[in-house]
């Protein structure tokens, strides 16, 4: 069912106007002065949820701004929208789909419903299959066509069918069980898949094809290359139907038509958005690599964040506060970007993951009521790990002309590092947040040595990078996106913006093979240039 009743233009809300006035009056204040005025500021502007602590005191906000932001959330359709989501209404209105990825990490008593029946049974079944397959592969019981156990898994997928599992495996690699290698290939760049298979033994390689739609061009291209390799090396006429291929999809029919055996298709449902699918059987590679127990610990951490999100009051609700601060920076302080800097090399994929999560979800310019927006939505998300980024783009953060809010993320304990390194790493994190805020503007100092300071940041400190805390952290950002999308009155769960490019690629490919399709003259010119310079032997 479609429910448009929650569509409210946030600019028409009384709190929005008040926030515009507050932004005008606070913009020349100094964050450090706000600390001097309120000795309890740091404690007051710190929230805990499980083992995650958010210190948002280094933002250019005061009590008035925070309570007005809470009022904005209260006056918006956030609560009604959340209710609609939890009860399985089709809040993805352009595709008529429910949004129930939270159910994937829930338990029976959490009661997510869709079409009036609990979704939990489908989820239980999927989890059981994941546990069974992971166990069989791990124990050497899943055999390739020549009877040998699996030594290597290639996960083929792109976007939401790649980023979540890839990031989880990289972030939690210290939890990986030994004896099996995992490879991810997402890009259409042939050098990736070709160099991956070149190193592997086809007899002991399992290919996991992950595509919600089972029609994504890049994934099918890579799949066909990998299948050709299996076929040629093992003499198989239909490798896709062998034990060396598993498909994970929401479109079982397409996977079957592709030739995958039904017993090796794992299905997830339409109510799981691609970029929210890590929690589903899309995470099979994670379960194989880290073990099923660690995979379920990731789910448990996310579930705890869901419970926090559903039950904490708005002013103590971490995703809500994170979202509101984002709206403050974006819509009232007119920051156009948001940097994310994890102080943990194993989280190097977090910025890319959040780019898809935030920008594909909330990079929209039409409201839920199909009206053009006259306010900005998702900022540009970017970042890299500290300390490397300090030696790359921190110059711009400290002295550039852009106003860039930063999320600093760190782990208080790290059993796979040592005290000396870890102390240095965390000291850098808090020093950078401090330097951005305090700046340095002594009189008589040469202009190029002046740091204006007053640059906002959040510091997110997490006890340790465990599977559970990893799950909670990802869910924190998911809920942030939901809150922002609700307040901005947009559909965070579709991605029509990516379709035109796909269509144009199909046209260009046809043009290339001589099939006359109309592409613009600039594109024809580029195509001609490529064709005349292509080495015929390549
Ligand atoms: O093109 C964008 C997108 O549809 C993402 O939303 C999605 O995560 C990705 O492509 C992959 O899609 P699929 O899982 O259907 O292959």
Give the closest residue (by CA) to ligand 1 atom 10.
159
Report whether 131 contacts 137 (CB < 8 A): no
Residue 116's pLDDT is what?
54
| Per-residue pLDDT reduced to its tens digit, 6-59 | 689 999 999 999 999 999 999 999 999 999 999 999 999 999 999 999 999 999
Residue 1's pLDDT is what?
35
C-alpha 214 – ligand 1 centre gap (Å): 9
For residue 58, indicate whether it is catalytic: no
Give the closest residue (by CA) to ligand 1 atom 8.
160
C-alpha 252 – ligand 1 centre gap (Å): 16
How far apart (Å, rounded) are the C-alpha atoms in residues 286 and 165? Answer: 6
Radius of gyration from C-alpha coordinates of the chain = 25
In a domain, 334, yes or no: yes
Residues 171 and 210 placed together within one structural domain of the fold: yes
Residue 59's pLDDT is what?
98
Query: Does 211 contact ligand 1 (Cβ within 6 A)?
Result: yes
Query: Does 274 contact ligand 1 (Cβ within 6 A)?
Result: yes
Three-class DSSP category at 174: helix
Report whether 165 contacts 278 (CB < 8 A): yes
How far apart (Å, rounded) are the C-alpha atoms in residues 212 and 247? Answer: 10
Residue 516's pLDDT is what?
55
Residues 426 and 513 placed together within one structural domain of the fold: no
How far apart (Å, rounded) are the C-alpha atoms in residues 148 and 357? Answer: 39
C-alpha 256 – ligand 1 centre gap (Å): 19
Residues 488 and 503 placed together within one structural domain of the fold: no
Which regions in the chain score pLDDT beneath 50? Answer: 1-4
Query: Does 213 contact ligand 1 (Cβ within 6 A)?
Result: yes
Q: Copy the structure tokens of residue 57.
A: 């005191």
Give the closest residue (by CA) to ligand 1 atom 2.
498
In a domain, 213, yes or no: yes
How far apart (Å, rounded) are the C-alpha atoms in residues 256 and 288? Answer: 23
Query: Does 160 contact ligand 1 (Cβ within 6 A)?
Result: yes
Residues 460 and 508 placed together within one structural domain of the fold: no
For residue 422, indicate whether it is catalytic: no
State the DSSP string of 436-501: HHH-B--TT--GGG-B-----EEEEEEEE--HHHHHHHHHHHHHHHHHHHHHHT--TT--GGGHHH
Q: Which residue stretches of 27-113 are H helix?
A: 31-37, 41-44, 63-75, 78-86
Give the closest residue (by CA) to ligand 1 atom 9.
159
218, 267, 360, 478: which is the annotated catalytic residue? 360
Residue 115's pLDDT is what?
64
Residues 402 and 475 placed together within one structural domain of the fold: yes
Residues 147 and 207 placed together within one structural domain of the fold: yes
In a domain, 234, yes or no: yes
Indicate which atom in ligand 1 lies nearest the CA of residue 163: 8
C-alpha 68 – ligand 1 centre gap (Å): 37
Pocket test for ligand 1, best of 186, 216, 272 (most atoms within 8 A of CB): 216
Report whether 368 contacts 7 (CB < 8 A): yes
In a domain, 83, yes or no: no
Q: Copy the structure tokens of residue 144.
A: 């390739």
Report whether 462 contacts 469 (CB < 8 A): yes
| Per-residue pLDDT reduced to its tens digit, 403-420 | 999 999 999 999 999 999
421, 502, 510, 528: which is the annotated catalytic residue? 502
Running DSSP on this structure, what letter comes out for residue 330? I
Q: Which burial class, exposed, middle or buried, applies to 454 when counting CB atoms under 10 A from its CB (0-12, 13-18, 19+)?
A: buried
Query: Does 161 contact ligand 1 (Cβ within 6 A)?
Result: yes
C-alpha 274 – ligand 1 centre gap (Å): 6
Query: Does 164 contact ligand 1 (Cβ within 6 A)?
Result: no
How far apart (Å, rounded) are the C-alpha atoms in residues 435 and 494? Answer: 39
| Per-residue pLDDT reduced to its tens digit, 241-297 | 999 999 999 999 999 999 999 999 999 999 999 999 999 999 999 999 999 999 999
Q: Copy the structure tokens of residue 485.
A: 């999308």
Residue 187's pLDDT is what?
98
Residue closest to 347 by CA, chosen among 434, 428, 411? 411
Q: Copy the structure tokens of residue 165.
A: 């599992």
Q: Copy the structure tokens of residue 482.
A: 């939901």
Residues 146 and 21 placed together within one structural domain of the fold: no
CB within 8 A of 469, min separation 6: which ones?
A: 50, 51, 52, 301, 411, 462, 463
Where a domain ends, among 294, 324, 346? Answer: 294
How far apart (Å, rounded) are the C-alpha atoms in residues 110 and 106? Answer: 6
State the DSSP string of 340-366: EEES-GGGTTHHHHHIIIIIIHH---B
Indicate which atom in ligand 1 lies nearest the CA of residue 498: 1
Pocket test for ligand 1, best of 357, 495, 505 (most atoms within 8 A of CB): 495
Q: Copy the structure tokens of residue 280.
A: 């589903």
Residue 4's pLDDT is what?
42
Cα torsion 299, 304, 308, 311 to 10°: value is 100
Residues 488 and 507 placed together within one structural domain of the fold: no
Pocket test for ligand 1, best of 92, 94, 156, 158 (most atoms within 8 A of CB): 158
Give the closest residue (by CA) to ligand 1 atom 1.
498
Q: Which residue stretches of 139-183 are H helix?
A: 163-171
Residues 125 and 55 placed together within one structural domain of the fold: no
How far apart (Å, rounded) are the C-alpha atoms in residues 278 and 112? Answer: 18
Report whether 351 contacts 383 (CB < 8 A): yes
Give the closest residue (by CA) to ligand 1 atom 3.
159
For residue 360, indicate whether it is catalytic: yes
Element (H, E) at 407: strand 406-413
Pocket test for ligand 1, best of 92, 95, 160 (most atoms within 8 A of CB): 160
Residues 120 and 170 placed together within one structural domain of the fold: yes
Residues 393 and 411 placed together within one structural domain of the fold: yes
In a domain, 521, yes or no: yes
What is the total count of domains within the chain?
Answer: 3
Where a domain ends, among 294, 328, 354? Answer: 294
4, 28, 391, 420: which is the annotated catalytic residue? 391
Question: In this structure, are strands 205-210 and 152-156 parallel, antiparallel, or unpaired?
Answer: parallel
What is the domain range of residue 488? 10-75+312-441+448-492
C-alpha 260 – ligand 1 centre gap (Å): 20
Residue 513's pLDDT is what?
67
| Per-residue pLDDT reduced to its tens digit, 455-471 | 999 999 999 999 999 99
Where a domain ends, among 294, 322, 354? Answer: 294
C-alpha 122 – ligand 1 centre gap (Å): 22
In a domain, 306, yes or no: no
Query: Does 158 contact ligand 1 (Cβ within 6 A)?
Result: yes
Contacts within 8 Å (CB) and 24+ apart, 388-392: 389/341, 390/428, 390/432
Residue closest to 425 by CA, chosen among 414, 436, 415, 435? 414
Running DSSP on this structure, what letter comes out for residue 30? -
Residues 379 and 326 placed together within one structural domain of the fold: yes
Query: Does 268 contact ligand 1 (Cβ within 6 A)?
Result: no
């Amino acid at each position: 069912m479609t429910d448009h009743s929650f569509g409210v233009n946030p600019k028409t809300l009384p709190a929005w106007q008040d926030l515009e006035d507050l932004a005008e009056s606070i913009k020349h204040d100094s964050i450090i002065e706000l600390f001097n005025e309120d000795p309890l500021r740091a404690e007051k502007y710190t929230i805990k949820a499980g083992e995650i602590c958010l210190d948002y005191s280094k933002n250019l906000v005061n009590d008035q701004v925070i309570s007005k932001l809470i009022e904005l959330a209260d006056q918006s359709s956030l609560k009604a929208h959340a209710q609609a989501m939890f009860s399985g209404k089709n809040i993805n209105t352009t595709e008529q789909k429910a949004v129930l990825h939270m159910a994937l990490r829930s338990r029976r008593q959490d009661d997510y419903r869709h079409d009036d029946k609990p979704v939990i049974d489908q989820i239980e079944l999927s989890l059981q299959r994941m546990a069974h397959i992971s166990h069989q592969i791990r124990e050497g019981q899943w055999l390739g066509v020549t009877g040998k156990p699996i030594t290597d898994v290639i996960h083929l997928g792109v976007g939401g069918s790649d980023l979540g599992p890839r990031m989880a495996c990289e972030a939690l690699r210290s939890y990986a069980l030994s004896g099996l290698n995992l490879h991810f290939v997402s890009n259409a760049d042939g050098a990736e898949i070709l160099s991956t298979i070149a190193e592997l033994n086809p007899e002991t390689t399992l290919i996991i094809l992950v595509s919600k739609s089972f029609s994504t061009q890049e994934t099918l291209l890579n799949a066909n290359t990998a299948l050709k390799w299996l076929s040629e090396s093992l003499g198989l006429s239909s490798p896709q139907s062998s034990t060396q291929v598993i498909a994970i999809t929401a479109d079982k029919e397409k996977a079957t038509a592709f030739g995958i055996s039904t017993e090796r298709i794992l299905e997830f449902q339409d109510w799981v958005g691609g970029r929210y699918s890590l929690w589903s059987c899309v995470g099979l590679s994670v379960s194989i690599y880290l073990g099923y127990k660690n995979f379920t610990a990731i789910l448990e951490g996310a579930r705890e964040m869901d419970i926090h999100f559903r039950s904490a009051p708005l002013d103590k609700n971490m995703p809500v506060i994170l979202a509101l601060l984002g709206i403050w920076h974006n819509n009232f302080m007119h920051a156009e970007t948001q940097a994310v800097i994890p102080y943990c090399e194993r989280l190097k994929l977090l910025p890319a993951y959040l780019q898809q999560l935030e920008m594909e979800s909330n990079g929209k310019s039409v409201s839920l009521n199909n009206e053009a927006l006259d306010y900005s939505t998702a900022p540009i998300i970017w970042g890299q790990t500290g300390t490397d980024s300090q030696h790359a783009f921190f110059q711009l953060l400290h002295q550039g002309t852009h106003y860039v809010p930063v999320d600093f993320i760190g782990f208080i304990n790290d059993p796979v590092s040592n005290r000396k390194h870890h102390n240095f790493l965390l000291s850098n994190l808090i020093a950078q947040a401090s330097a951005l805020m305090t700046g340095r503007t002594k009189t008589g100092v040469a202009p190029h040595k002046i740091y204006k300071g007053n640059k906002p940041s959040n510091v997110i400190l997490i006890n340790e990078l465990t599977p559970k805390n990893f799950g909670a952290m990802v869910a924190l950002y998911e809920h942030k996106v939901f809150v922002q999308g609700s307040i901005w009155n947009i559909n965070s769960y579709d991605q029509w913006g990516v379709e035109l490019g796909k269509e144009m690629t199909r046209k260009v490919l046809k043009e290339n093979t001589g099939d006359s399709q109309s592409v613009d003259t600039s594109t024809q010119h580029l195509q001609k240039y490529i064709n005349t310079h292509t080495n015929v032997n390549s």
